Amino acid sequence: MKQGLLIVVSGPSGTGKGTVCGELLACTPELAYSISATTREPREGEKDGENYYFITREQFEQEIAAGGFLEYANVYGNYYGTPLKKIEERLAAGQDILLEIDTQGALEVMKKCPEGIFIFLLPPSMQELERRIRGRGTESEESLQRRLSAARDEVELGRQYDYAVVNLSVKQAVKRIQGIILAEHSRTGRNEEAFEI
């Protein structure tokens, strides 16, 4: 059985990772989403087991101790982590998996799974990033400034990724990521059987 692809989409907060990944999943039925665990409170409309597994800090720390996460990070005061077991099972079954995680987590995954495909999503400009975070209306001014300052540092980390995609529009970004996935599936190293003719 051919192993599935581990596709990691990351980038600074406010770049539109969530929207792009949502649209990507909606129009790529063969791609499965890895639902993260988090200690943050659900936002309006978010559902447990769908957007995240909403768990307590205690549960999260138990899970860390048990080695249950592929990676985890503290993002703006809350824990976020990628459950390991499900991913391993699905990749082994040939399923492509999408992780939408922050840059700290993505760097962890790079170390542990160098065979993963790392896609960095960039905003078209810092001004646009600020406009998007403000437009979301979920952050206090202090939190917004914290996120913008972190984003400037995070952009530099993007150079370590395999691919850079500028989020000019959701449609375009989705198309590019789909293109990356198709190209990765066509790599000679992943198609040994195609040569047995």
**Residues within the interface to ligand 5GP (CB under 6 A):** 13, 17, 36, 40, 71, 73, 75, 80-82, 100-102, 104-105
CB of residue 169 vs ligand 5GP: minimum separation in angstroms?
Answer: 20
CB of residue 113 vs ligand 5GP: minimum separation in angstroms?
Answer: 14
Count the Cβ atoms, other than its own, within 10 Å of residue 73. Answer: 18
- Percentages (nearest 5) of helix, strand, coil residues in the chain: 45, 20, 30
Cβ distance to ligand 5GP smaller for residue 2 or 89: 89
CB of residue 37 vs ligand 5GP: minimum separation in angstroms?
Answer: 7
Distance CA 81, CA 96 (A): 19
* Cross-strand partners of 75: 78
The dihedral through the CA atoms of 181, 182, 186, 190 has a sign that is positive
Cβ distance to ligand 5GP smaller for residue 96 or 100: 100
Closest-approach residue to ligand 5GP (CB):
105
Cβ distance to ligand 5GP smaller for residue 34 or 180: 34
CB of residue 79 vs ligand 5GP: minimum separation in angstroms?
Answer: 9
Cβ distance to ligand 5GP smaller for residue 157 or 190: 157
Extract long-range pairs of 176-183: CB within 8 Å, 24+ residues apart: 177/7, 177/9, 177/20, 177/24, 177/119, 178/24, 178/27, 178/28, 180/117, 180/119, 181/5, 181/7, 181/28, 181/31, 181/96, 181/117
CB of residue 108 vs ligand 5GP: minimum separation in angstroms?
Answer: 7
Cβ distance to ligand 5GP smaller for residue 164 or 190: 164
